[in-house]
Structure 1
Amino acid sequence: MPPWNERYTVKITGGKERGRKIPVKTASARAPLRPTSAKVKEALFNILGQALKGSRFLDLYAGTGAVGMEALSRGAREAVFVEINKDRCRLIKEISERLGYEGRIRVHRMDARRYLERARQRGETFDQIFIDPPYQSGEIKRILPLISDGLILSEDGIIIIEHSSKITLPEESGNLRKGKTYRYGDTSLTIYRLYQQGGKIK
């Protein structure tokens, strides 16, 4: 985690804006940041690959929005950021403007569960959902049931959860089935897909 009073740099590692670096003063977020590491972020986008092209990407517990910005650089059509901290929401908007993405984003300052309930009511769907709550929060077990009926995940969509490697996630939740878990030291990425897709879950 970056020191409270130092700068953290949002780095775009692939796609159209590859190589861009946006410095962010961590104190301006008004709360400690635990950014996704470069290694884990690269692994995440290697998993998603070409599926990002023209997709809708949902970044829950968005922090500075670095993951969603990377998705846009790599071809996502739109990214939706959900973050409860108002100062982080402001940072996301500022970073998107510096990257020229302000017309391709939506930022919602609210609890992730509340957002998912509203998205279900509005009939919104996403092709990729990235979930990265605070590791010790217990949020994952509360979030999965809100996605497990498949109402907000596209038929071929994918959910990727970043979590502590000390935690083993459930094999299934409603219509979701767990795929592979990728471990990177203390951090792991676990895949979920809709069961009714058929075939092997990767």
Structure 2
Amino acid sequence: MDLRITAGSAKGRRLRAVAASGRSPLRPTASKVREAVFNIIGPGIEGARLLDLYAGTGAVGFEALSRGAGFVVFVEINPRRVELILRTGLELGFSARMEAHRMRALEYLGHAAGRGEGFDFIFLDPSYSSDELAMALPFIAAQGILEEGGLVIAEHDSKRLLPESWGPLKLKKRYLYGDTALTTYR
């Protein structure tokens, strides 16, 4: 699998990926979808705090750092992937502006809320076959970890329609890219 950062200070640099296993499938966010994510975010990424839930390869978070994000938190349950994210951050010179946690997304969200952490952007990309979005989005809405004016971006199967709102989070727009959809909430 050939993954590269598409823009910014690390443009063209390769990202490594741990092979998928039956219990832990890996479907990295395609480069055209990553570019779309950052077209949606726009210049707001400069200095922003981004939470990359279900990080997998870390491609979205590393793209954010390359484009000037101030800090990125990666959350991934697979220990080999977390190790690779940390190593990649070191190789790319981003380790001072990132942290990676090996835990379930909902567990991290609880810790973040308890510590009063806030994020300008929250990107979620769980397995398309899971119900994780239906659990994580209401949790994000209830915990107040999205900064005022912040944006939640959920990547999911384009056949799946997400609700118009999750508590205070309201659907902003839905974008389609073949089998992939990005649904944004504010």
TM bracket (short chain) = over 0.9
The reply to whether residue 139 of structure 1 matches residue 136 of structure 2 is no
The number of aligned residues is 185
Equivalences for residues 1-202 of structure 1 within 5 A:
8-24=1-17, 26=19, 31-149=24-142, 151-193=144-186
- Under a length normalisation based on structure 1, what TM-score does the superposition of the two structures give? 0.87
Distance 2:132 2:81 in 1: 19
Listed as ranges, the gaps of 5+ residues in structure 1 are 1-7, 194-202
Write the letter of the residue equivalent to 2:153. Answer: I
For the 8 Å contact 2:54–2:76, the answer to whether it is kept is yes
1:103-123 CA-partner distances (Å, limit 9, x unpaired): 111111001001101111110
- SS of corresponding position for 1:108: strand
Write the letter of the residue equivalent to 1:102. Answer: S
1:60-83 CA-partner distances (Å, limit 9, x unpaired): 000010110000000101100000
Distance 1:31 1:139 in 2: 14
Distance 1:24 1:115 in 2: 22
- Under a length normalisation based on structure 2, what TM-score does the superposition of the two structures give? 0.95
Superposed displacement of residue 179, structure 1? 1.1
1:14-50 CA-partner distances (Å, limit 9, x unpaired): 111112123445269x943201111111111111110
Q: Pick closer, same or farther for the CA change 1:51–1:135 going to 2, 3 Å.
A: same
**Greater Rg, structure 1 or structure 2?**
1
- SS of corresponding position for 1:145: helix
Q: Pick closer, same or farther for the CA change 1:55–1:122 going to 2, 3 Å.
A: same
- SS of corresponding position for 2:142: coil
- SS of corresponding position for 2:2: strand
Distance 2:17 2:46 in 1: 28
Percent of aligned pairs with the same amino acid: 54
Superposed displacement of residue 10, structure 1? 2.9
Distance 2:59 2:40 in 1: 17
Superposed displacement of residue 52, structure 1? 0.3
For the 8 Å contact 1:150–1:175, the answer to whether it is kept is no
Q: What is the root-mean-square deviation in Å for CA atoms of aligned residues?
A: 1.5
